[in-house]
Amino acid sequence: MKPELQAVSQSSLGSISAALDWLLPRQPGSVRLGDRFFHLLVRMCSVFIIMLALLLVGDLFRGSWEAIEYFGLGFLVGTTWDPVTQEFGSLPPAVGTLIKSTIALIIAVPISIGSAVFIAFYIPRGWRTLVSYPIELLAGIPSIIFGLWGLFIMVPVIRTIQVWLKANFGWIPFLDGPAVYGVGVLAGGMMLAIMITPIITAISRDILLTVPRTQVEALLALGATKWEAIWKVVLPYARTGLIGAVILGLGRSIGETMAVTMVGGNNFDLPHTLFDPIHSMASMIASEFAEATYSLYVSSLIYMGLVLFGITLIISLLAQLLIWRLSKGEFAILD
Amino acid sequence: MKKFKSFLIAGTAAALLTSGNPALANCPTKGVKEMTGAGATFPYPLYSKMFDEYNKICGVKVNYQSIGSGGGIRQLQQQTVEFGGSDGIMNEKQKQQAKGGNVMHIPTVAGAVVVIYNLPGAEKTQLKFTPDVLADIYLKKIKTWGDARIKALNPSAKLPTQDIAVVHRSDGSGTTFIFTSYLSKVSSEWKDRVGNATSVNWPGDIGGKGNEGVANSVKQIPGAIGYVELAYAEQNKIAYAQLRNKAGKYVQPSLESAAKAADVANLPDHMEVMVTDSSNPDAYPITGFTWLLVYENQTDLAKADAVAQLAWWMIHDGQKFATPLGYAPLQGVAVKKAEALIKKIKVGGKSVLN
């Protein structure tokens, strides 16, 4: 390289370095230019994501402002949705979303974690992929396919179950529907359970596989059974990760739109029994947005989106709190 | 290219022959090659067929986004599209928000909505309903199939004693708009308690997404009743009911009886009218138009000409695609009134079609 060129490149390097100094103050451990550049790059990535979230919240507020001004917080407890008289409230679909997601978790969590334990600890290493593959395949199926399958295949089966439940256990208050439709709270919950099981299973399996084998082997050496080793060491060791997996599943079930729309029954009333047809928030927004013909209507739908966002935020904060408390306990055990 | 030109000439010649008005060609003459529209999903299957054919004949590409009537109205208000599509009539407030001034409603075709049901043990029976009975079923005042009022209308039918499960559309739709327009006209209680919109506060029971959601719920639940587009019921071989119309006659739903609904003397010139509960004695009463929304006074001559030519073609030559796809073509007086509206499209106070 010619000396003058070298000087130029050095000075340009110097100016880049100066720019980096301005953008990103020098920190211990990041002395080399490439290292600092990488630091800046990943920082930009995370700033980008945070900006995206802030923009989204800002836009939700902007879009729903007309409805916020008009209905105030009463929207959250309103039980009427009447585009004709321009009266809107979001309580029934919020309740619908939460009930269906709860049912989904009750069904999906034991099955998912059970099958993850089986895959991680009970089958030979070579067979693991063979069993895991279909689960990952399930996780990738688009929700409209699940929805159509649910509508045509699952709902008639659920109707039969409901008829039987009503005939034999109708004396239990929430099992006594006024009529048996098939579609409704139970069908929606089952649909979501089927959709989130593969996700929770796949993530739980990966987390269980990171539990050091030595932990299990040590316990087995001490005379514990395999069940005891898994129940007393593996699951507590992995619990923060498992909670994370469940939260991801919950997130999908709360935001799920198409499949619940197909099987949920979509009636705008608070449910009294497991059989009642009920709307959920995401499906309502998707169903009505296209034909929302005046601005307060559109604004109310966006307000509902904001409420949904709020619910998701509260749930993930609670999950963080839970993980934080558990992991404090965990460190105590590890010490 | 030569082939294309001869095709073009042939197409234009055919168009001229059928429209019967040699002064008006069907293709834009001012160089517009691409147009955008947005709106109603209900006529989308027909529009996409029509626009495809129009492209072959005139070499003009029409992009129509079926985002729903609400979205179509919003985009027209903002003037981001050349025309909108809507299953409903714009209200005063919506018209005021339109940036380009007066919006005209040009009807393109009519659609019919039929009542479907699931009667275990009587699958093949065709039921008859009067407007008041249908309204009271949807108001949840008539609760079982054993009700005396249903029996009185269908003395020979083997009706079950089952509860009626009422199914409606859960998504906002033009089908619901036509159906609730009809119920509002025939029942004052419906008008006061529920009203007429693309989505309403239903008294009960289940919402299904789309025609397929409603039809499937009705199919699976014994004792269910629902409403779907005529074309959907026919394609899927679902039994539907006869309705008593305003003249007191029980009418079989069909494209012919639906088309009759718009063939009445007292249509207003602006065509902003729901023809549900028609006074024509042969009309099936749950029938409504779908409209193109176009600004009356435009600024860009080439674009205004393109929209006018397209609309003209749609209400004449384009009509032949309606029947095979399950829509009722415009008839008689309705075509004349639509023509008059298209001729009102102006640039600088001068009609673009003359």
Looking at chain B, the domain(s) classified CATH 3.40.190.10 span 7-111+269-273+289-351, 113-262
Judgement on whether residues A44 and A157 belong to the same structural domain of the protein: no
Confidence band, pLDDT 50/70/90 cuts, at residue B135: very high
In 3D, which of B117, B107, B123 has the Cα closest to residue B137? B117
Whether chain B has a CB inside 8 Å of the CB on A291: the answer is yes
Q: Does A182 touch chain B (CB under 8 A)?
A: yes
For A120-141, how does the pLDDT look when each residue is reduced to its tens digit (9 = 90+)?
Answer: 888 888 888 888 888 888 888 8
Flag if A83 and B88 touch (Cβ within 8 Å). Answer: no
Residue B86's beta-bridge partner residues? B291
Same domain, A8 and A127: no
Residue A18 has pLDDT above 80, yes or no: no
Confidence of residue A246 (pLDDT cuts 50, 70, 90): very high
Tokens of B308: 């006018």
Average pLDDT over all residues of chain A? 86
- Split at pLDDT 50, 70, 90, the class of B13 is very low
* Same domain, residue pair A141 and A251: yes
Note down the domain range covering A56: 3-65
A310 with A170, same domain?
Answer: yes
Residue A335 included in any domain: no
C-alpha dihedral, A202 to A206 to A207 to A210, nearest 10°: 170
Of chain B, the percentage scoring pLDDT greater than 70 comes to 93
Segment B167-194 mean pLDDT? 92
Q: How far is A92 from chain B (nearest CA, A)?
A: 13
Find chain B residues with C-beta within 8 A of A155's C-beta.
220
Q: How confident is the model at residue A25 (pLDDT cuts 50, 70, 90)?
A: low
Instruction: Answer for the pair B41, B174: CB distance below 8 angstroms, yes or no.
Output: yes
Decide: A104 and A253 in contact? Cβ < 8 Å.
yes
- Nearest CA of chain A to the CA of B160: how many Å? 15
**A44 and A144, same domain (yes or no):** no
Q: Give backbone dihedrals phi and psi of A261, rounded to 5 degrees, phi first.
A: -60, -40
Q: Do A267 and B194 touch (CB under 8 A)?
A: no
According to the model, what pLDDT value does residue B77 have? 92
Question: What percentage of chain A reaches a pLDDT higher than 90?
Answer: 38
Please report the pLDDT score of residue B318 as a whole number. Answer: 92
User: Which of B67, B201, B208 lies closest to A290 in CB terms?
Assistant: B67
Judge if A270 and A193 occupy the same domain.
Answer: yes
User: What's the whole-number mean pLDDT along residues B341-349?
Assistant: 91
Tell me the per-residue pLDDT of A75-125, one tens digit each, with 9 for 90 and over: 999 999 998 888 999 999 999 999 999 999 999 999 999 999 999 888 888
- The pLDDT-based confidence of A28 (bands split at 50, 70, 90) is low
Contacts of range B158-161, beta carbons closer than 8 Å, 24 or more positions apart: B158/B121, B158/B122, B158/B125, B159/B119, B159/B122, B160/B119, B160/B120, B160/B121, B160/B122, B160/B222, B160/B223
Check B220 against A290: CB less than 8 A apart.
Answer: no
Of A60-64, A285-289, A326-330, B115-119, the one with minimum mean pLDDT is: A326-330
β-sheet with B346-347: strand ranges across: B297-298, B346-347, B350-351
Any chain B CB within 8 A of the CB of A36? no
Q: Which two tokens stand for residue A87?
A: 């009266």
- Which residues, at least 6 apart from A29, have a Cβ–Cβ distance to it below 8 Å? none
**What residue in B sits closest to A156 (Cα-Cα)?**
B220
Which of A96-110, B4-18, B83-97, B238-252 has the least mean pLDDT?
B4-18
Q: Which of A184, A262, A291 is the closest to B199 by Cβ?
A: A291
Question: Per mean pLDDT, which range of A16-30, B39-53, B176-190, B261-275 is the poorest?
Answer: A16-30
A279 touches chain B (CB under 8 A): yes
The alpha-carbon gap from A293 to the nearest alpha carbon of chain B, in Å, equals: 4
CA distance A245 to A323: 12
- DSSP line for A19-43: HHHHHS---TT--SHHHHHHHHHHH
- A273 at the B interface (CB within 8 A)? no
Kindly state the average pLDDT of the residues B10-23: 44
Helical packing angle, B131-138 and B174-186, nearest 10° = 120
Contact yes or no for B68 and A290 at CB 8 A: yes
* Mean pLDDT to the nearest integer, B244-255: 92
Q: Where do runs of H (alpha helix) occur along B246-344?
A: 255-260, 301-315, 332-343
Select the residue of A277, A288, A297 nearest B171 (Cβ to Cβ).
A288
Judge: B196–A84 Cβ closer than 8 Å, yes or no: yes
Residue B242's pLDDT band (boundaries 50, 70, 90)?
very high
The residue to which tokens 């008009």 are assigned: A70
Q: What is the pLDDT of residues B151-165, one digit of tens each?
A: 999 888 888 888 899
Q: What is the pLDDT of residues A164-178, one digit of tens each?
A: 888 888 777 777 766
C-beta atoms of B173 and A291 within 8 A: yes
User: Is pLDDT of B222 > 90?
Assistant: no
Q: What does the pLDDT read at residue A13?
A: 66
- Residue A321 is part of a domain; what is its CATH number? 1.10.3720.10
Are the C-beta atoms of A181 and A144 separated by less than 8 Å?
no
A234 and A312 fall within a common domain: yes
Q: How far apart are CA A166 and CA A155, in angstroms?
A: 16
Task: Check residue B60 and report its DSSP letter.
Answer: -
CB pairs under 8 A between A and B: 113
Q: Are residues A208 and A270 in the same domain?
A: yes
Question: Is residue A160 very low, low, confident or very high in pLDDT (cuts 50, 70, 90)?
Answer: confident
Average pLDDT on A26-52 reads 82
Please report residues of B whose CB lies closer than 8 A to that of A184: 206
Q: Are strands B83-86 and B34-39 parallel, antiparallel or unpaired?
A: parallel
Looking at the structure, tell me whether residues A60 and A109 fall in a common domain.
no
Q: Tell which residue, B252, B240, B230, has the closest CA to residue B124.
A: B240
Check residue B43 and report its DSSP letter: T
**pLDDT value at residue A334:** 41
Q: Does domain B113-262 have CATH number 3.40.190.10?
A: yes
Question: How many domains is chain A partitioned into structurally?
Answer: 2
- Which residue from A155, A267, A293 is facing B88, i.e. has the nearest CB? A293
Fold of B7-111+269-273+289-351: D-Maltodextrin-Binding Protein; domain 2 (3.40.190)
Q: Is pLDDT above 60 for B23?
A: no
B286 phi, psi to nearest 5 deg: -95, 75
pLDDT exceeds 50 at position B1: no
Q: Establish if A334 belongs to a structural domain.
A: no
For chain B, say whether A261 makes contact (Cβ under 8 Å).
Answer: yes
Confidence band (pLDDT; 50, 70, 90) for A208?
very high
Chain B interface, mutation test: which of A293, A294, A298, A301, most B Cβ atoms within 10 Å?
Answer: A293
φ, ψ at A332 (rounded to 5°) = -60, -40
What are the chain A neighbours of B293 within 8 Å (beta carbons)?
Answer: none
Say yes or no: A81 and A126 in one domain.
yes
A225-253 residues labelled b (16+ CB within 10 A) or e (exposed): eeeebbeebbeebbbebbbbbbbbbbbbb
The residue type found at A324 is W
Domain end call among A65, A83, A104: A65
Task: Output the CA–CA distances (angstroms, integers) from residue B252 to B113, B249, B261, in the order listed.
Answer: 12, 10, 13
* Residue to test with chain B: of A268, A291, A302, most B Cβ within 10 A: A291
The residue that leads in pLDDT, A182 or A189, is A189
CA distance A150 to chain B (A): 11
CA angle B138, B140, B146 (to 5 degrees): 100
Token pair 């492209």 is at which residue? B55
| The domain boundary residue, chosen from A13, A35, A65 | A65
- The last residue of a domain, from among A42, A65, A88: A65
Eight-class DSSP state of B318: G
Contact A296, A67 (CB under 8 A): yes
* Cα–Cα distance, B57 to B5 (Å, whole number): 10
A41 and A80 co-located in one domain: no
Q: Does A83 touch chain B (CB under 8 A)?
A: yes
* Element at B166 (helix H, strand E): strand B165-169
